[in-house]
Chain A
């Protein structure tokens, strides 16, 4: 099989992976000849599915000895199989990079022979790129479940980011769909990485120059919708991982590639909307100080599909409002629907010099239609009288579901609300 045929199979097999970000490593490795990492990731192209292409995202092989039911590469699947050699991956990466097609490599693999052997192959790619080719571009390795800690430590020397996939939101889900994977082992692997990252940071703070270890941190991916597990559970797992393992990102990947009608919203394509809502909720947890429990307001313990989680929270917590934009703390401002992190920063800067009126907010391009019911401004805001109306929730729901589908794909990069 030639490289092009392999590429077709092994990129196709990676198309389900949600991770795309190439940001986080603030400085380029010393001695790099080709390639740089400068903090901000760059999307080099966009696929017609609306997702960005910033990395050469491939599997080393899609053969796998495991049989996880949600996974296309499971041993019992009929999918065509291929395997790259280490040299082939190295050369593809260098050649694509030199033409500025990509920002780096995201390499993952099915498990061949055993976990350690597979992990060694991934490390060989990374090491060759760094040492033979002076490659300084972004490199993300997906660690193989159950690989030895010493191998993960070696991988962290070469990679900018490591990820350990949690795969499914709960222990029970794993038991059911991926019996060979166990949550304690997965979390244990994350912990191992976290410790090494912490050590490197401490040494750096103490003025040493420790060898680099996954400077862009670690991330994980969770498949959502393969089991009936609710959004609350999903978000709690995510929040546990953010705080406990200091993950940089949790990626959510809607399980079903087909528009299976979700019972909660017949006829739509809910996997995408659900994914979008999860990214928004995740954003609220990371940047707005929300807790998983309070974000989910629906009785079925799932996020509302038709309004964003911040608005849903506001509607369920009207006693918190109105918030006075001229006096409220940053934390309070952040809870106003339709006003994002950037605008909160602006409001805080402006109000030192002048009193903010409704007009000013509109000029700042806050989502006034969402915000207007919840804010106290220096002038009279007539919309405030709606705050106590019982049908407010109904009125604030968008008329057409189409609107939401439109921007759903952007949420993987930013879930800002």
Chain B
């Protein structure tokens, strides 16, 4: 039996060549490496190597496929103690009647080699992925340097380092691992001794931003921890700053999903689901009374549908019923309604000539003590309810529409509509050639500056006049 101690691929290569030339069968050789605990054989002398045999003649005898050498060089980085033996047995078989051996993937030796190759390649890939540089700035040097600590499974620093040199060409960097370190000074790669984790540098200010990104790009509606662990093995987590967020992210996921549904999803239904076949106003009103498309129907007393003559020339659209309207079941009967009535009168319009309605048909509120305080409808509620408004507009076919306030204007003109910029102007929309936006009477009532409030009230009257005007011959 020959005992051979091998530490590097080059050593193995020259040993293997020598053993092959001596026709030493694999069963007659035992390989060991410094890593191994071979105390039993420690005193056994190595078979003396002689470099003199590395001649051209020897090389021509030993024809092994190029493919094998590449494979062997990678497998040599594997930590498995039997790798040298396996490689020697394979090269023996390749040169002893089985030149096609590497093609036979299910051969036990070939299979083991492929498994080892896969493990090493994967480890190199993980190193490329999971090295995290930390930036060190020293006052004395003008150049920042970047240092990373990483624990690969196999001895792959030299396989992976050139990649980092290509990628981070204009940086000074060092990668520390327990076995070996690699340093790049923008011109040359140097290898040095291994370093324990305790000697690696601490944090980097940028890690806070990176964690913010990690937390935000996570989609809580698709939690799949098994998949994550398969691709990002837990043993690497120690050096990946973002992984400490994982428990909180998972704990918060159900609440975030609920919030996503709340904010982004829209309701499963819209008013369109409750639309009657007959789209006359009476039939619409009856159907809307039992609308359950959004959550607002839960707390409100009743649906407050539009009111007015079915052939009205003017439709006035408010935001949503308030406290009084919710009780009465009629639009614009509270304080804002009274101000609207006054303004209509000043503009010379009878309230019963116009059709008055709201974008959202149920009262939305929070309770404070005994009082019910109005809350703005959100875009999901507006979206859910809008089919009613559209059906009303389609039924009435007004020649003008007057939108009161931002909510109703944005419902008809789009969300970038600014009432402060475009109030009092006439626009063509798909529902009417004369669609006008103006102040909501409630906004006028809330305005603390009396002069401004008066001015707004006058503008509301002006806009009502504009809405009532018969369009010119154009």
Q: Which of A45, A58, A363 contacts B232 (CB 8 A)?
A: A45
Query: Measured between alpha carbons, how far is A146 from B209 in the docked complex, in Å?
Result: 33
A241 to chain B, nearest CB (A): 25
For residue A36, which residues in chain B have a CB less than 8 angstroms away from its CB? Answer: 163, 166-167
B223 adjacent to A49 (CB under 8 Å): yes
A258 adjacent to B225 (CB under 8 Å): no
For residue B222, which residues in chain A have a CB less than 8 angstroms away from its CB? Answer: 49-51, 257, 272, 409
* B125 beta carbon closer than 8 Å to chain A: yes
Query: Measured between alpha carbons, how far is A354 from B105 in the docked complex, in Å?
Result: 11
* B132 beta carbon closer than 8 Å to chain A: yes
Query: Nearest A residue to B168 by beta-carbon distance?
Result: A34
B362 to chain A, nearest CB (A): 18
B224 adjacent to A75 (CB under 8 Å): no
Q: Which of B209, B253, B257, B382 contacts A92 (CB 8 A)?
A: B209
* B443 beta carbon closer than 8 Å to chain A: no
Q: A33-B169, A34-B168, A409-B227 are in contact. Are A77 and B216 (CB under 8 A)?
A: no
* A352 beta carbon closer than 8 Å to chain B: yes
For residue A76, which residues in chain B have a CB less than 8 angstroms away from its CB? Answer: 379, 382-383, 414-415
* A43 beta carbon closer than 8 Å to chain B: yes
Query: Measured between alpha carbons, how far is A44 from B128 in the docked complex, in Å?
Result: 8
For residue B209, which residues in chain A have a CB less than 8 angstroms away from its CB? Answer: 3-4, 7, 92, 95-96
For residue A57, which residues in chain B have a CB less than 8 angstroms away from its CB? Answer: 217
Q: A100-B148, A364-B106, A409-B227 are in contact. Are A7 and B264 (CB under 8 A)?
A: no
Query: Measured between alpha carbons, how far is A56 from B169 in the docked complex, in Å?
Result: 21
A44 adjacent to B225 (CB under 8 Å): no
Between A and B, how many residue pairs show CB distances below 8 Å?
A: 190
A416 to chain B, nearest CB (A): 15
B260 adjacent to A100 (CB under 8 Å): no
A47 adjacent to B218 (CB under 8 Å): yes
Q: Which of A11-19, A161-169, A208-216, A391-399 contacts B (4 or more CB under 8 A)?
A: A11-19
Q: Which of A9, A48, A353, A363 contacts B246 (CB 8 A)?
A: A48
Q: Is the interface of B mostly helix, strand, loop or mixed?
A: helix
A350 adjacent to B111 (CB under 8 Å): no
* B35 beta carbon closer than 8 Å to chain A: no
Q: A77-B379, A363-B111, A409-B224 are in contact. Are A98 and B217 (CB under 8 A)?
A: no
* B152 beta carbon closer than 8 Å to chain A: no
For residue B217, which residues in chain A have a CB less than 8 angstroms away from its CB? Answer: 11-12, 14-15, 47, 53, 57
B208 adjacent to A4 (CB under 8 Å): yes
For residue B224, which residues in chain A have a CB less than 8 angstroms away from its CB? Answer: 48-51, 406, 408-409
Query: Measured between alpha carbons, how far is A47 from B166 in the docked complex, in Å?
Result: 27
Query: Measured between alpha carbons, how far is A91 from B344 in the docked complex, in Å?
Result: 58
B378 adjacent to A47 (CB under 8 Å): no
A99 adjacent to B210 (CB under 8 Å): yes
For residue B135, which residues in chain A have a CB less than 8 angstroms away from its CB? Answer: 98-99
Residue-wise interface mask of A (18-49) relative to B, using a CB-CB cutoff of 8 A (1 in contact, 0 not):
00000000001000111110100011111111
* A201 beta carbon closer than 8 Å to chain B: no
Query: Measured between alpha carbons, how far is A52 from B170 in the docked complex, in Å?
Result: 27
B213 adjacent to A258 (CB under 8 Å): no
Query: Measured between alpha carbons, how far is A36 from B166 in the docked complex, in Å?
Result: 7
Which of A50, A58, A260, A352 has the most B CB atoms < 10 Å from its CB?
A50
Query: Measured between alpha carbons, how far is A98 from B168 in the docked complex, in Å?
Result: 7
B54 to chain A, nearest CB (A): 32
* B226 beta carbon closer than 8 Å to chain A: yes
For residue B268, which residues in chain A have a CB less than 8 angstroms away from its CB? Answer: 260
For residue B383, which residues in chain A have a CB less than 8 angstroms away from its CB? Answer: 76
Query: Measured between alpha carbons, how far is A76 from B416 in the docked complex, in Å?
Result: 9
A33 to chain B, nearest CB (A): 4
B242 adjacent to A45 (CB under 8 Å): yes
Among all A-B residue pairs, the 8 with the closest Cβ atoms: A50-B227, A50-B224, A363-B106, A11-B216, A33-B170, A257-B221, A49-B222, A46-B232
- A-B contacts, 23 of them at CB < 8 A, read A7-B213, A8-B216, A11-B212, A15-B219, A33-B169, A34-B168, A34-B169, A48-B249, A49-B221, A49-B223, A50-B225, A50-B231, A53-B217, A56-B213, A58-B213, A78-B379, A79-B263, A79-B264, A99-B206, A101-B132, A259-B221, A349-B103, A353-B100
A7-B216, A50-B223, A258-B260 are known; give 8 further A-B pairs, CB within 8 A.
A4-B212, A45-B214, A50-B224, A50-B227, A76-B379, A350-B103, A350-B104, A409-B227
